[in-house]
A = this chain, B = another copy of it.
């Protein structure tokens, strides 16, 4: 059983706002992140899959397939996008690092064949990241 991790980067913008909160509450809770114009990040995504090593190839997973799946399911939808306005999952969910990790898991998990998704890690900045393992 080996765990293989591939990183990718995407540049996106977002802001934090809960329409059920008053303007004052949104400002107090979200601070600078509440600016409705949005601001952005170079996100780093780490996708970890686990599985047996195929003795014919030495691979847990075909990296070309993994890359293609990550591009199609995640990067094409999120890179150079305003997450709140252009990614449907965030039309009514706040695009925090935590929620990004969950949404990316939900997009990737059903599409990965061959290997099993183990962890999605999302870095918002080099100093802040969230991990999701599919645990309820």
Chain A residues in contact with chain B, CB under 8 A? 1-9, 11-14, 16, 18, 20-21, 29-33, 35, 37-42, 48, 53, 56-60, 62-64, 79-82, 85-86, 93-99, 101-102, 125-133, 135-136
Contacts of A86 in B (CB 8 A): 37
Say whether, besides A18-B57, A64-B31, A82 and B2 are in contact (CB < 8 Å): no
Q: Is the CB of B40 within 8 A of A13?
A: yes
How far apart are the CA atoms of A69 and B97 in the complex, in Å?
20
A96 near B59: Cβ-Cβ < 8 Å: yes
**Chain A facing B: main interface SS:** mixed
This chain: copies in complex: 6
Question: How far is B102's CA from A4's CA once the two chains are assembled, in angstroms?
Answer: 12
Residues of chain B within 8 A (CB-CB) of A93 are: 58
Checking B21, B57, B96, B135 against A1 with a beta-carbon cut-off of 8 angstroms, the contacting residue is: B135
> How distant is the Cα of A21 from the Cα of B85 in the complex, in angstroms?
25
Query: A18-B56, A59-B96 are contacts. A82–B39 as well, Cβ < 8 Å?
Result: yes
- What is the minimal beta-carbon distance from A136 to any residue of chain B, in angstroms? 7
Cα(A93)–Cα(B7), bound, Å: 26
Closest residue to A134 on the B side, CB-wise? B1
